[in-house]
Amino acid sequence: MSATAPIKFVRALSPRDPHEPHRVSTPLELLTDLCFVVAVAQASAGLHHAIAEDHVGHGLISFGIAFFGIWWTWLNFTWFASAYDNDDVIYRLLTILQIIGVLVLAAGVPGFFSDEFVLPVVGYVIMRIALVIQWLRASRGDPRTRETCRRYALGLVVVQLLWVGFLFVPHEFQLFVFLPIAVLDMAVPVWAERRGETPWHPEHIADRYAAFFIIVLGESILAATLAIQGAWTDLDHAADALVVLIGGVLIVFGMWWLYFARDASAVLERVRTQGTRFEYVWGFGHYFIFASGAAIGAGLAVRAEFWAHPDEVPALASAAAVTMPIAVLMTALYVLQLRQHDRSARAALPFAIAIVLTLACTFTSFPELFAGMVVVALLVTELRQVARTSAQSVPAPGS
Which pLDDT tens digit goes with each residue over 5-14? 567 777 888 8
Whether 22 is in a domain gets the answer no
Q: pLDDT exceeding 90 applies to what percent of the chain?
A: 67
Same domain, 147 and 231: no
Same domain, 339 and 371: yes
The closest of 95, 79, 40, 34 to 63, measured between CA atoms, is 40
Cα–Cα distance, 301 to 164 (Å, whole number):
34
The closest of 205, 211, 210, 155 to 183, measured between CA atoms, is 155
Cα–Cα distance, 207 to 205 (Å, whole number):
5
Same domain, 148 and 207: no
Model pTM score: 0.92
The answer on pLDDT for 284 being more than 90 is yes
Cα–Cα distance, 230 to 304 (Å, whole number):
8
Q: What pLDDT was estimated at residue 234?
A: 64
Whether 274 is in a domain gets the answer yes
CB distance 77 to 32 below 8 Å: yes
The answer on pLDDT for 1 being more than 70 is no
Cα–Cα distance, 13 to 376 (Å, whole number):
46
Which of 178, 195, 212 marks a domain boundary? Answer: 195
Domain range for 60 is 27-195
- List all residues 6 or more positions away from 45 whose beta carbon is below 8 Å from its beta carbon: 298, 301
Whether 10 is in a domain gets the answer no
The answer on pLDDT for 188 being more than 70 is yes
Same domain, 166 and 47: yes
Same domain, 162 and 181: yes
Domain count, the chain: 2
The answer on pLDDT for 272 being more than 60 is yes
Cα–Cα distance, 136 to 280 (Å, whole number):
23
Same domain, 191 and 206: no
Range of weakest confidence among 80-84, 233-237, 338-342, 375-379: 233-237
Q: How confident is the model at residue 239 (pLDDT cuts 50, 70, 90)?
A: confident
Q: What pLDDT was estimated at residue 158?
A: 97
Q: pLDDT exceeding 70 applies to what percent of the chain?
A: 93
CB distance 135 to 80 below 8 Å: yes
Same domain, 85 and 31: yes
Whether 269 is in a domain gets the answer yes
Which of 171, 195, 219 marks a domain boundary? Answer: 195
107-148 pLDDT, tens per residue? 999 999 998 999 999 999 999 999 999 999 999 988 899 999
Whether 104 is in a domain gets the answer yes
248-254: average pLDDT: 93
- From residue 241, alpha-carbon distances to 18, 217, 219, 228, 235 in Å are 48, 19, 17, 6, 9
Same domain, 301 and 359: yes
Whether 158 is in a domain gets the answer yes
What backbone torsions phi and psi does residue 261 show, to the nearest 5 degrees? Answer: -70, -25
250-271: average pLDDT: 92
Which of 142, 165, 195 marks a domain boundary? Answer: 195
Same domain, 210 and 321: yes
Whether 278 is in a domain gets the answer yes
141-185 pLDDT, tens per residue? 888 999 999 999 999 999 999 999 999 999 889 989 999 999 999
Nearest 5°: CA angle at 238, between 237 and 243? 100
Same domain, 37 and 169: yes
| Long-range CB contacts (within 8 A, 24+) of 115-120 | 115/171, 115/174, 117/166, 117/167, 117/174, 118/167, 120/66, 120/69
End-to-end CA distance of the chain: 41
Same domain, 118 and 214: no
- List all residues 6 or more positions away from 65 whose beta carbon is below 8 Å from its beta carbon: 112, 178
Cα–Cα distance, 371 to 368 (Å, whole number):
5
Whether 261 is in a domain gets the answer yes
194-202: average pLDDT: 90
Same domain, 141 and 215: no
Q: What pLDDT was estimated at residue 2?
A: 44
